[in-house]
Amino acid sequence: MNLIISMEQNLSDILKFLKLLHLFQQVRRATLVTGEDRQENDFEHSYQLAMLGWYLIERKKLKLDSSLVVKYSLVHDLVEAYAGDTYTYGLVEKEVKHEKETKAQKKLEEEFADFPEMNALIKNYEERNDEESRFVYALDKIIPMLNNYSDNGRTWKKHNITLEMLINQKQGKVEVSPECKAYFDELVEKLLNRPDLFPKD
């Protein structure tokens, strides 16, 4: 009897966490999925960020903890399961972004007090006190640009995003990571030669 109760408790915990992941998977982002007529979700974005970060560390022999980078990548947007995504260029939404995400973070801490490492990593990522969190933060700003570059600028054209807007929005943010800043600068150089990726207006 005790074994059955214990198994039910374990399953309850799993289902509770799985519900959080389902909510996270349902959060849609502005960027269109390359080659598909739909928006990417937070699940896909976080996995892509984790894999690309891990790849760059291995490929470029960066002096970063790849395990920590992967974990930061997986949790960096997790508050959006409760707060939703904030469109980068939506000025009205940006005003309430911090308040919504702070409430969501507290809710995660309360509901998943049994997962202290996850909660600590979310907090550490927001504070960006180590090189790994800064690397993930900066790479997170570049990934949508890379996806749009690969997808012939569909999202940029759809939302009337210009190269000037991209640079103004992202340049100061990617500077927290020298490695990512170099990738950003190289990408901007490519985009300067690809006006066809942006709205004609």
Contacts of 174 (CB under 8 A, 6+ apart): 138, 141, 142, 180, 181, 184
| Correct CATH for 31-197 of 3.20.20.70, 1.10.3210.10, 3.40.30.10, 2.30.30.230 | 1.10.3210.10
pLDDT tens-digit map of 105-120: 999 999 999 999 999 9
Task: Tell me the pLDDT band of 96, cut-offs 50, 70 and 90.
Answer: confident
Q: And the tokens for 45?
A: 């974005």
Q: Which amino acid is at 70?
A: V
Task: Tell me the pLDDT band of 131, cut-offs 50, 70 and 90.
Answer: very high
pTM of the model: 0.90
Whole-number pLDDT of residue 128: 96
Whether pLDDT at 73 is above 90 = yes
Whole-number pLDDT of residue 177: 97
Instruction: In whole angstroms, give the CA distance from residue 122 to residue 17.
Output: 16
Whether pLDDT at 164 is above 80 = yes
Asked if residue 58 lies in contact with residue 66, where contact means CB atoms within 8 angstroms, the answer is yes
Whole-number pLDDT of residue 42: 97
Query: What share of the chain has pLDDT > 70, as a percent?
Result: 90
Long-range contacts of 176-183 (CB under 8 A, 24+ apart): 176/128, 176/134, 176/137, 176/138, 177/131, 177/134, 177/135, 177/137, 177/138, 177/139, 179/56, 179/60, 179/62, 179/135, 179/138, 180/135, 180/138, 180/139, 180/141, 180/142, 181/138, 183/142
For β-strands 28-32 and 39-41, DSSP reports them as antiparallel
Task: Tell me the pLDDT band of 57, cut-offs 50, 70 and 90.
Answer: very high
- Give me the residue spans of the domains in the chain: 31-197
Across all residues in the chain, what is the average pLDDT?
92
Instruction: Centre a 10 Å sphere on the Cβ of residue 14 and count the other Cβ atoms it contains.
Output: 10
Tell me which of 31 and 98 has the higher pLDDT: 31
Average pLDDT rounded to a whole number, residues 74-101: 80
Whole-number pLDDT of residue 93: 62
Whole-number pLDDT of residue 4: 53
Whole-number pLDDT of residue 90: 55
Q: And the tokens for 51?
A: 């894999």
Number of residues assigned to the chain: 201
Whether pLDDT at 188 is above 70 = yes
**Three-state DSSP class for 64?**
coil
